[in-house]
Amino acid sequence: MKYILAAYATAPVTETWQPELQARYLNGIKQLGNIRGIEHPFTGHLHPHDDQWFLENIDPGWDFVFTGVPGIMLRLGDHAAFGIASDDAIGRAEGIAFYRQMREAVLKLNQSLGRKAVDFIQLHTSPNRARAASSTASLIASLEEIQSWDWDGAQLVIEHCDAHIEDAAAEKGFLTLEEEIQAVQSVNQRCGCDIGLSINWGRSALEARSVEGPLSHLRQAREAGLLRGLMFSGVSPEETPYGAWCDTHMPPAPVFAEGHFAETSLLTAEQIAKSLEVADWRRLDFLGIKIGVRPRELNAEERVAYNRDALAALDMCTERELSGVI
């Protein structure tokens, strides 16, 4: 089994752009034999600092899953009504324009690699409802337009983020999964398209404040016939360097001795196995890992090691699930 790795979430954090350091990290990621490709962050350009550097340093054989979360969060800081689910006309138009820019980046990457290397586009249903109004109707209108564009073979999925819940502090505060399912089903039926859903384990656990959250979301998306992808991120209810109930992509809890893990993470081997079973993981279009690391001062090699061990943990769980051990 080969996975999608959100390598950007573990990349070295520096005050200024340091291409040599980033290349050293990415070269380490290239040595991981069980990845099929990476989840790639879009902020407005193909690469936040240097498109050509990116094209020269990626593995040309990788597949790509684009995510707009980093760019969306930046824009929400300037305009609270930004997003494709926004009831504000300007905010929704800006959200659509953002994905039009992403499409150009997808075409540039595919053209450079000489193939349709981008498999999936993860859409997100901003804005945060605590700061601006949003609705299923607005999302439907946006999806109808976005799906009409030529994405050069890439399929659209909504990645569910933690929803706005009354009297609870949300990290993202976007639409509920039920609303996203309703919107996707409506657009698929009206337009004859095949938009799907993807689940991030940590974000669903954060929303529910429980390990039952991811299982419930996976079950709902699967029963709706829309589940396409599952990315594993951890989360903790305890105050840790990753925060308590924060969307910081905490690594899994220890799965094997001397690995690079996070002690209080709710993402245990047992929870990975349960989620794989509920997701019917062998039918998924993509499966992977998205982790951050603490402390931020970790060097490039240590950052690669965290990804290596998280992927090894996922390998162990899929192998055991196949053999019926778990």
pLDDT tens track, the chain, 326 positions: 899 999 999 999 999 999 999 999 999 999 999 999 999 999 999 999 999 999 999 999 999 999 999 999 999 999 999 999 999 999 999 999 999 999 999 999 999 999 999 999 999 999 999 999 999 999 999 999 999 999 999 999 999 999 998 877 899 999 999 999 999 999 999 999 999 999 999 999 999 999 999 999 999 999 999 999 999 999 999 999 999 999 999 999 999 999 999 999 999 999 999 999 999 999 999 999 999 999 989 999 999 999 999 999 999 999 987 776 54
Any residues with CB less than 8 A from the CB of 273 and at least 6 apart, and which?
A: 317, 320, 321, 326
Residue whose token pair is 């905490």: 250
- Best CA proximity match to 262, nearest among 245, 288, 241: 241
* DSSP-derived secondary structure letter, 12: P
Decide if 286 contacts 65 (C-beta within 8 A): yes
Amino acid at 70: P
Q: How far apart are CA 128 and CA 259, in angstroms?
A: 36
Give the chain's mean pLDDT. Answer: 96
Q: How far apart are CA 106 and CA 122, in angstroms?
A: 12
Q: Please tell me whether the overall predicted TM-score, pTM, comes out greater than 0.85 for this model.
A: yes
pLDDT digits (tens, 9 = 90+) for 207-247: 999 999 999 999 999 999 999 999 999 999 999 999 999 99
- Best CA proximity match to 115, nearest among 63, 67, 165: 63
> What pLDDT does residue 325 have?
53
Q: How far apart are CA 138 and CA 90, in angstroms?
A: 12
Any residues with CB less than 8 A from the CB of 79 and at least 6 apart, and which?
A: 90, 91, 94
Q: How far apart are CA 59 and CA 134, in angstroms?
A: 39
State which H helix or E strand residue 198 sits in.
Answer: strand 196-200
Any residues with CB less than 8 A from the CB of 260 and at least 6 apart, and which?
A: 251, 302, 305, 306, 308, 309, 310
Residue 122 three-state SS? strand
Burial class (CB in 10 A: 0-12, 13-18, 19+), 15: exposed
Decide if 53 contacts 61 (C-beta within 8 A): no
**Domains of the chain, CATH where assigned:** 3-323 (3.20.20.150)
Q: How far apart are CA 178 and CA 125, in angstroms?
A: 12
Using alpha carbons only, give the angle 304, 308, 309 rounded to the nearest 5 degrees. 120
